Chain A
Amino acid sequence: MEFKVPTMAELMAAGEEPEILFWVGCAGSYDERAQKITRDICKILHHVGIKYAVLGTEESCTGDPAKRAGNEFLFQMQAMTNIEVLNAYNIKKIVTGCPHCFNTIKNEYPGLGGSYEVIHHTQLIQDLINEGKLKAEGGESFKGRKITYHDPCYLGRANGIYEAPRKALEVLDAELVEMKRCKSNGLCCGAGGAQMFKEPEKGNKDINVERIDEALQTNPQVIAAGCPFCMTMLSDGIKLKDKEQEVKVLDIAEITVRANGL
């Protein structure tokens, strides 16, 4: 990276406070594909000059997959450990790169003593576009390209956020096409509820294939995602359909970075 990503520990040592904490999440930290998205989110933060920081090695799993798998004990252990760290740094506002982290910190941490203003990175991008700090200039042109957006369950149905990611795409002057099942009726990619970490039960089709079939019906050049798990599932689906050349699966942060040439 061309710039250094600041950590909370460093800021604290320098006696500074960030405007916003970027919660990277496990996928964003370790998954190779998701790491690219993480770096792109940093590029956006860096570009607009928001004072931000990450927890780095002090971050740990929010506990979401443990909770959805039924292990409330492990979830709360993770949650309280994270809350201790967040509160010690006096964090007020958090942006996440993952809808699962977003949902957990926003909805399930307050009851355990961790109350923060939490936004997802697509909401941050929308805000920056609204404030005129981000445009779609100076980079790759998406004008007229066919883009379909896949709603992550934990952003959409779970939290009612349907507009922010779409607003971030509208600025591209691209041709936005909706899948038949979209917004509150969107079909899951198949990874939620800890499914990401296990083989699917016996059936006649994999959920991500069902979703990719539907996405491909819109004849897209780009399938836009907003979740690292959806990214994995959709990318796997595209690979299976041998459409990697024609159709790109990109996170909204990646599209934004490309459109702005960051």
Chain B
Amino acid sequence: MVSQILFLLLTLAAVGLFTVNFRKIIRNIRLGKDIDRSDQPQKRLMTMLRVAFGQSKMVVRPIPAFLHFFVYVGFVIINIEVLEIMIDGLFGTHRIFHGLGGLYNFLIGSFEILALTVWLSCVIFLIRRHVLKLKRFRGVEMTSWPKSDANYILITEILLMTAFLLMNAADAKLQTLGASHYVSAGSFPVSQFFMGILPNSESALITLERACWWFHIVGILAFLNYLPYSKHFHILFAFPNTYFSNLKPKGAFTNMASVTNEVKAMLDPSFVPAETEPGKFGAKDVTDLNWVNLMNAYTCTECGRCTSVCPANITGKLLSPRKIMMDTRDRVTEVGKNIDKHGQDYQDGKSLLDDYISREEIWACTSCNACVEACPVNIDPLQIIMELRQFAVMEESQAPASINAMMGNIENNQAPWKYSPADRLNWAEGN
């Protein structure tokens, strides 16, 4: 009974704490400007099913796709086991679903195989990071916290799977010993091999089985509460992030409606624009971005596929699309903390542009969309870069001199170079 109460309290505390932190993140995302992504629900649903659920963009890199697939399927399916653990924990039962008989055996057997593949995949992931030292996991933005974050996630998953398999091994051995309370249920294709190394005494086995059971579930609850602080948040946000992702061709940049009104009024004096709020052009800080940009930032799992295909980054420039996303998340988290501490209108005098992302970074972008294409969860770093450029150019007139010259040429000669518009058809004279 004591353990049931303890279990209930732990679960409530964990879920409660997670809810508080999760709502803070939602609040932070809502600091972004509005953008309508409610159109074409069917297409959106299909995109989510294909990209997030079906992992369609992962397959570009087959090895990590294969390993990630195991961890992903393991995560989704082993959660069925968590349901049983929850019920057992609350009602003091043991393996409540054992009545399913053959199906139960099949399920437990499958979980074990998945647990083993998750375990192996995570070990290989650690090897890729620390032994093979893949370039993708390095870079200026991969400072100590992002690196540790990745390690914590992988080690936790390895420990959780180890506990799960040891728990089953102890349970299986208890079943063969005919221990009361331990009903004969489940099949143990993996953990049967550990039975030999376990102690033979019933009490020691029960202690081990209970310890692993508690470690597994407490570990899961702790991990749940780690998510809001971690890049691992993608396991939840990959789904809404792909659902609300851009459905237009990647080359189609949004036309700013406020500018359209001004230009129309200039070209046609009789045009009366609809009342719109005087906003600023582009983005200086995260609150100038839209909520999809901010959700993108919370979804990023820092895999670095974007940066590894960025032509600027490949050739040694400062720009890294992954850093753009990480900076955006760090900044919006900071803004959120300021709100919690000092209230809604507090200004800390800092901004995303300059304090986090430098001018040198934003001007190195070729807008080639390689980063957008590479992202397995449809994050769009390019849109944030463009918003920052818009602020620099339209609010501050702070473009590089040669860019100003190019724009001056367009204004005066209708071409980005200094040629006379009268000569535009001269090519037709040549051979």
Known: A42-B428, A159-B251. 5 other contacts (CB 8 A): A72-B256, A77-B263, A191-B366, A203-B315, A205-B315
Listed from nearest, the 3 A-B pairs whose CB atoms lie closest are A158-B251, A193-B367, A70-B389
Q: State whether A203 touches B316 (Cβ < 8 A).
A: yes
Q: State whether B370 touches A197 (Cβ < 8 A).
A: no
- How many whole Å from B270's CB to the nearest CB in chain A? 15
- Which of B315, B403, B406, B423 has the most A CB atoms < 10 Å from its CB? B315
- How many whole Å from B396's CB to the nearest CB in chain A? 10
The chain A residue sitting closest to B310, CB to CB, is: A188
- Majority secondary structure of chain B interface residues (helix, strand, loop or mixed): helix
Interface string of A58-76 (1 = CB under 8 A from B): 0111010111111111101
Q: State whether A60 touches B251 (Cβ < 8 A).
A: no
- How many whole Å from B235's CB to the nearest CB in chain A? 26
Rounded to whole angstroms, the CA-CA distance of A159 and B250 in the bound complex is 7
Could you say which of B76-84, B172-180, B186-194, B357-365 contacts chain A? B357-365
Tell me if B431 counts as interface (CB < 8 A to partner A): yes
Partner of A185, one of B255, B309, B315, B393: B309
Tell me if B373 counts as interface (CB < 8 A to partner A): yes
Q: State whether B400 touches A192 (Cβ < 8 A).
A: no
Tell me if B399 counts as interface (CB < 8 A to partner A): yes
Q: State whether A201 touches B250 (Cβ < 8 A).
A: no
Partner of A65, one of B249, B255, B369, B410: B410
- How many whole Å from A200's CB to the nearest CB in chain B? 7
Tell me if A184 counts as interface (CB < 8 A to partner B): yes
Q: State whether B430 touches A204 (Cβ < 8 A).
A: no
Residue ranges of A at the interface with B (Cβ–Cβ < 8 Å): 1, 4-5, 7, 24, 26, 28-30, 35-36, 38-39, 42, 54, 56-57, 59-61, 63, 65-74, 76-78, 80-81, 84, 103, 107-108, 111-112, 153-154, 157-160, 181, 184-188, 190-207, 209-211
Interface string of B323-360 (1 = CB under 8 A from A): 00000000000000000000000000000000000001
Partner of B251, one of A69, A107, A209: A107
Rounded to whole angstroms, the CA-CA distance of A86 and B120 in the bound complex is 61
The chain B residue sitting closest to A34, CB to CB, is: B427
Tell me if B131 counts as interface (CB < 8 A to partner A): no
- How many whole Å from A231's CB to the nearest CB in chain B? 14
Partner of B386, one of A68, A80, A112: A68
Residue ranges of B at the interface with A (Cβ–Cβ < 8 Å): 60, 248-253, 255-256, 259-260, 262-264, 266-267, 281-282, 309, 311-312, 314-319, 360, 363-370, 372-374, 386, 388-394, 399-400, 402-403, 405-407, 410-411, 414-417, 419, 421-431
Rounded to whole angstroms, the CA-CA distance of A65 and B318 in the bound complex is 22
Partner of A201, one of B60, B318, B393, B417: B318
- How many whole Å from A165's CB to the nearest CB in chain B? 16
6 pairs, CB–CB < 8 Å, chain A vs chain B: A38-B427, A59-B424, A158-B252, A193-B366, A194-B403, A201-B363
**A201/B249 contact (C-beta < 8 A), A68-B367, A70-B390, A72-B259 known:** no
Q: State whether A80 touches B317 (Cβ < 8 A).
A: no
- Which of B255, B373, B411 has the most A CB atoms < 10 Å from its CB? B255
Q: State whether B399 touches A76 (Cβ < 8 A).
A: no
**A76/B366 contact (C-beta < 8 A), A70-B392, A204-B316 known:** no
Q: State whether B251 touches A103 (Cβ < 8 A).
A: yes
**A195/B366 contact (C-beta < 8 A), A56-B424, A72-B394 known:** yes
Rounded to whole angstroms, the CA-CA distance of A158 and B369 in the bound complex is 7
**A157/B373 contact (C-beta < 8 A), A76-B259, A193-B366, A203-B317 known:** yes
Q: What chain B residues lie within 8 Å of A108 (beta carbons)?
A: 252-253, 255
Q: State whether B389 touches A69 (Cβ < 8 A).
A: yes
Q: State whether A154 touches B251 (Cβ < 8 A).
A: yes
Rounded to whole angstroms, the CA-CA distance of A168 and B379 in the bound complex is 33
Rounded to whole angstroms, the CA-CA distance of A92 and B369 in the bound complex is 29
Rounded to whole angstroms, the CA-CA distance of A120 and B428 in the bound complex is 20
Q: State whether A192 touches B427 (Cβ < 8 A).
A: no
Q: State whether B373 touches A184 (Cβ < 8 A).
A: yes
Rounded to whole angstroms, the CA-CA distance of A192 and B367 in the bound complex is 6
- How many whole Å from B140's CB to the nearest CB in chain A? 13
**A69/B403 contact (C-beta < 8 A), A59-B424, A80-B264, A159-B251 known:** yes
